[in-house]
């Protein structure tokens, strides 16, 4: 063999082994996913969370404002890549160890080593035997085939180069593992129960049915306009994987500067007298005309009733802590109308919205509406919350906004524009529309108000379309008579402001 072809051969071998390791890595990731599904015990979950927590605030803010959900998807993709690499390193180490051992045990030594390392990599979220086994299996198959133990069976294959056989074996063995793991994991994700095993279902009641019917009745019949109870409620989280909490083991504690610390169980909460309230939420990171603003009917109990027996002494503030490591602090005064929700639109609170229980703090930006709530801590002194440590000022009341999401051509020369308006506990009194870029204004029709102190309204307006392109501008007036601020501000750091303008042809 000439010098040249030998070096080419070894380079091919080098890449070949790397590829085999990557396939074993992918099988390992699938193994972890098979049992965990998309929950925090999935190996990629903590990696994505780690990056979201430790990347500089500017990058996260850029990601939220510019990339939106794409930023989140990129983060998950990156986390999947990193987990695959980690398992691939396990496979490489296994293959290296195996190489020093003699056939026929070599393959098994390689596989066992790779599997054990892969298994210990998963220890951080939750040790996953399936991840270790899947990585090991690919290593074993690839190694055994390469070393020729199956020579008798493979001599008749088209190409019997050991390197190619190794690669082929890795591909053939990893594909079913990856597909199987993906299928199993997807089922696990969907199955994750949002139900406690016992107890009443306070979110099921004639009152809930009546309120939901009222919201349906009062929703404007405008094609393309989301109804007063959101069909798809936005989600914003610090982690890619939502906590999958067991209601029977969840507790909510009242701690800090109190006379007596308290602990509530899920049973305690669902056995209390509940109330059903419409509450709208909006994220401080929402863009001016964005979609991170929604409304639902929540079932729950008053937070003040829960904390009263603890006798909180002289305090300025309260810190909410959650099972996903999130925490937010805000002034005590905002807690007065605080609501602990355990149900949403006649169902138990969905996992993505904080199962088993979340806080709702009327009128305030979404971030202090802490999901998966585990602790209410009373503080004598102010402290920064998770987002405030990253430069945001999102613990205060929401800005007033009228959004313009729907532009319908009615076909008879008329146009219909519509959207939602929201001003937290100030309420919405009026929405005005201008079709000439803000020169002249007309009143829009509002949906009838829903009961509740913190609920959005819909608006719509119909006009005869001018023949040329024109700018439609909307602005709301809140319940105190204050006009929505015209001054443009980006969401960072204290929420967007300005009037929504859309150009219509």
Ligand X SMILES: Nc1nc2c(c(=O)[nH]1)N[C@H]1C(S)=C(S)[C@@H](COP(=O)(O)O)O[C@H]1N2
**Residue 252 contacts which entry, Mo ion, ligand X, none (Cβ below 5-8 A, type-dependent):** none
The residue within the footprint of ligand X, chosen from 276, 351, 364, 371 (CB under 6 A), is 371
Q: Is 370 in the site for ligand X (CB under 6 A)?
A: yes
Pairing between strand 262-265 and 442-443? unpaired
Q: Is the peptide bond before 104 cis (omega within 30 degrees of 0)?
A: yes
- Interactions with Mo ion, residue window 225-244 (CB under 5 A): 236
- Measured from the CB atom, the residue of 392 and 461 that comes closer to ligand X is 392
Smallest gap from residue 495 Cβ to ligand X (A): 11
What DSSP element (H or E) covers 322? strand 317-322
Q: Least distance in Å: CB of 351 to ligand X?
A: 11
Element at 175 (helix H, strand E): helix 162-191
Within 287-346, the residues that bind ligand X by CB under 6 A are 322, 324, 326
| Closest C-alpha to 225, from 372, 451, 421, 454 | 421
Least gap, CB of 409 to Mo ion (angstroms): 34
Decide: helix, strand or coil at residue 474.
strand
Q: Is 52 in the site for Mo ion (CB under 5 A)?
A: no
- When asked if residue 366 is in the footprint of ligand X (CB under 6 A), the reply is yes
Measured from the CB atom, the residue of 49 and 98 that comes closer to ligand X is: 49
Whole-Å CA distances, 378 to 36, 136, 186, 256, 328: 35, 50, 40, 5, 12
Q: What is the b/e burial string over 147-184, where b = at least 16 CB atoms within 10 angstroms of the residue's CB?
A: beeeeeebeeeeeeeebebbbbbbeebbeebbebbeeb
In whole angstroms, what is the distance from residue 449 CA to residue 482 CA?
18
Sign of CA dihedral 344, 349, 350, 351: positive
Q: How far is CA 355 from CA 244, 284, 467, in A?
A: 8, 22, 52
Name which position in 353, 390, 405, 457 contacts ligand X (CB under 6 A): 353
By CB under 5 A, is residue 388 in contact with Mo ion?
Answer: no
Instruction: Tell the smallest beta-carbon distance from residue 394 to ligand X (Å).
Output: 7
Closest chain position to Mo ion (CB): 283
| Binding range to ligand X, per CB under 6 A, among 46-54, 333-341, 366-374, 460-468 | 366-374
Q: Which is nearer to ligand X, 119 or 355 (CB)?
A: 355
Cross-strand bridge partners of residue 256:
378
Q: Which is nearer to ligand X, 324 or 388 (CB)?
A: 324
- Out of 43, 212, 229, 281, which residue is the one contacting ligand X (CB under 6 A)? 281
Q: Is 364 exposed, middle or buried (0-12, 13-18, 19+ CB in 10 A)?
A: buried
| Cβ closest to ligand X, residue 204 vs residue 236 | 236
Q: How far is the CB of 284 from Mo ion (least distance, A)?
A: 5
Query: Among residue numbers 363 through 382, which ones bind Mo ion (CB under 5 A)?
Result: 366-367
Region 401-440 residues binding ligand X, contact defined as CB under 6 A: none
CB of 94 to ligand X, least distance (A): 38
Q: Quick check: 283 binds Mo ion (CB under 5 A)? A: yes
Distance CA 117, CA 97 (A): 12
| Smallest separation, CB 233 to ligand X (Å) | 6
434 beta partners: 473
| CB of residue 239 to ligand X, shortest distance in Å | 7
Strand ranges (E), 335-481:
339-344, 347-348, 358-360, 373-379, 401-402, 406-409, 414-422, 428-434, 442-443, 445-446, 457-464, 470-478
Between 57 and 81, whose beta carbon lies closer to ligand X? 57
Judged by beta carbon distances under 5 to 8 A according to partner kind, the member of ligand X, Mo ion, none in contact with residue 353 is ligand X
Find which of Mo ion, ligand X, none residue 82 binds, CB within 5 to 8 Å per kind.
Answer: none
Q: Which is nearer to Mo ion, 118 or 334 (CB)?
A: 334
CB of 99 to ligand X, least distance (A): 46
CB nearer to Mo ion: pick between 367 and 454? 367
Coil, strand or helix: which one is 480?
coil
Q: Which residues pair with 179 in a beta bridge?
A: none
Task: Answer whether 47's CB lies under 8 Å from 82's CB.
Answer: yes
Residues that bind ligand X (CB under 6 A): 233-238, 281, 283, 322, 324, 326, 353, 366-367, 369-372
- Interface residues with Mo ion (CB under 5 A) are 236, 283, 366-367
């Amino acid at each position: 063999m000439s010098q040249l072809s030998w070096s080419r051969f070894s380079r091919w071998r080098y890449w070949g082994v790397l590829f085999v390791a990557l396939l074993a890595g992918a099988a390992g990731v699938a193994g972890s996913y098979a049992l965990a599904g998309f929950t925090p015990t999935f190996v990629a979950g903590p990696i994505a969370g780690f990056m979201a927590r430790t990347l500089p605030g500017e990058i996260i803010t850029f990601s939220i404002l510019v990339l939106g959900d794409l930023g989140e998807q990129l983060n998950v993709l990156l986390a999947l890549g990193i987990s695959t690499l980690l398992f691939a390193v396990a496979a490489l180490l296994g293959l290296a160890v195996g190489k020093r051992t003699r056939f026929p045990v070599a393959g098994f030594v390689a596989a066992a080593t790779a599997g054990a390392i892969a298994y210990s990599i998963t220890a951080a979220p939750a040790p996953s035997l399936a991840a270790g086994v899947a990585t090991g299996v690919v290593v074993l198959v690839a190694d055994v085939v390469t070393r020729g133990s199956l020579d008798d069976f493979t001599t008749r294959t088209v190409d019997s180069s050991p390197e190619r056989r190794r690669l082929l074996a890795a591909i053939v063995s990893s594909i079913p593992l990856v597909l199987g793991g993906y299928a199993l994991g997807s089922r696990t994700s969907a199955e994750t129960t949002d139900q406690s095993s016992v107890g009443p279902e306070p979110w099921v009641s004639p009152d809930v049915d009546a309120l939901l019917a009222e919201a349906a009745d009062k929703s404007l019949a405008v094609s393309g306009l989301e109804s007063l109870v959101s069909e798809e409620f936005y989600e914003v989280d610090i982690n890619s994987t939502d906590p999958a909490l067991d209601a029977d083991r969840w507790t909510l504690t009242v701690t800090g500067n109190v006379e007596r610390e308290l602990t509530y169980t899920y049973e305690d909460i669902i056995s209390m007298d509940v109330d059903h309230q419409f509450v709208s939420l909006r994220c401080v990171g929402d863009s001016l005309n964005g979609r991170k603003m929604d409304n639902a009917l929540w079932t729950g109990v008053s937070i003040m009733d829960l904390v009263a027996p603890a006798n909180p002494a002289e305090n300025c503030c309260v810190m909410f802590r959650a099972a996903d490591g999130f925490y937010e602090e805000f002034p005590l005064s905002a807690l007065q109308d605080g609501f602990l929700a355990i149900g949403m639109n006649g169902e138990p609170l969905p996992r993505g919205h904080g199962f088993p229980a979340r806080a709702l703090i009327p009128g305030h930006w979404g971030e202090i509406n802490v999901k998966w709530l585990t602790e209410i801590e009373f503080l004598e002194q102010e402290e920064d919350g998770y987002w405030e440590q990253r430069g945001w000022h999102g613990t205060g009341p929401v800005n007033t906004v009228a959004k313009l999401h729907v532009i319908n051509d009615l076909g008879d020369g008329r146009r219909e524009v519509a959207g939602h308006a929201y001003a937290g506990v100030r309420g919405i009194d009026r929405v005005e529309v201008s079709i000439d870029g803000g020169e002249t204004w007309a009143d829009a029709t509002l949906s009838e108000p829903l009961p509740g102190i913190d609920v959005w309204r819909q608006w719509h307006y119909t006009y005869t379309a001018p023949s040329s392109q024109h700018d439609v501008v909307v602005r709301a007036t809140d319940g105190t008579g204050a006009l929505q601020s015209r001054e443009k501000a980006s969401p960072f750091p204290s929420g967007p402001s300005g009037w929504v303008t859309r150009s219509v042809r």
